Structure 1
Amino acid sequence: MFVAAAAALIVAILLGLVRALVGPTIYDRILAGNMIGTLTVILIAVHGFLAGRPEFLDIALVYALINFIGTIAILKYFRFKDLGHSGADHGEAKEDM
C-alpha cells in the first residue's frame, strides 16, 4: 500500500517538474518548485515509514522549513530584485520621527 503511495508521489513530483520547466509565468514555476518540495517531504516521511526508521520524520521537518524559507526568499527576490531591502524603499510610507 505504501509502495503505491510512494510511486504516486514520484509521478506527482515528475508532473511538478514538467510544470516548473514549461510554466508560462515565473509564479507558476515557483509554485511548482514549492509543490515539488512539499511532495519530497511527504516522500521522505513515507520512505521512513517503509524503512522502519521514524527519525526520517525529523529530516522531513527540517526539509519542510528549508523549503518554506527558500520559497519566501525567491519570491522576495523577484519582487524587489534584492534580498537586503526591508520593503520601505519601494513605495511604502515612511513615518517621520
Structure 2
Amino acid sequence: MILTLMETAALMMLGGAVLLSLLRLLMGPTAPDRVVAADTLAVITTSGLVVLAALLGSALYLDVALIYGTLAFVGVVAIARAIEGNGS
C-alpha cells in the first residue's frame, strides 16, 4: 500500500504529537500536567484510530475509536476528581 503525501503528513503529525505529549507526561512538574498529557495522548490515539480506519477502509475502527474516546474521557475525569480530593 502506497501512502499519499497527505496521509504521510497526517501520520508524521500524529507521531510528533505523541512525542511531545510523552515528553510532557514524563517531565510534567505537577500531577495535573501529567493528567492533561495523558488526556492528550488519549485524544491522539483516538485520532490515530480514525486515520487507521480511513487508510484501511474499515468502519470497525471508527467504532473502536468512539468507545476508546469515551472511556478515556471518563478515566480522565475520574483521575481529575481524585487529584482534586473531591470524592463525590
The answer to whether the superposition gives a TM-score over 0.5 is yes
Report the RMSD for the aligned CA atoms in angstroms.
1.3
Q: What is the distance in 2 between the residues matched to 1:55 and 1:49?
A: 11
Runs of 4+ aligned structure 1 residues displaced above 3 Å come to none
TM superposition shift of 1:56: 0.8
Q: What is aligned with 2:25? A: 20
Count of residue correspondences = 83
Q: Comparing both chains, which one has the higher relative contact order based on Cα–Cα distances under 8 Å and sequence gaps of 6 or more?
A: 2
Unaligned runs of 5+ in 1: 87-97
Q: How does 1:4-15 map to 2 (within 5 A)?
A: 4-15=9-20
Identity %: 36
Q: 2:66 aligns with which of 61, 64, 67?
A: 61
TM-score (norm 2): 0.87
Larger Rg belongs to: 1
Does structure 2 conserve the Cα–Cα contact (< 8 Å) formed by 1:9 and 1:43? yes
Runs of 5+ consecutive residues of structure 2 not aligned to the other structure: 1-5
TM-score, scaled relative to structure 1: 0.80
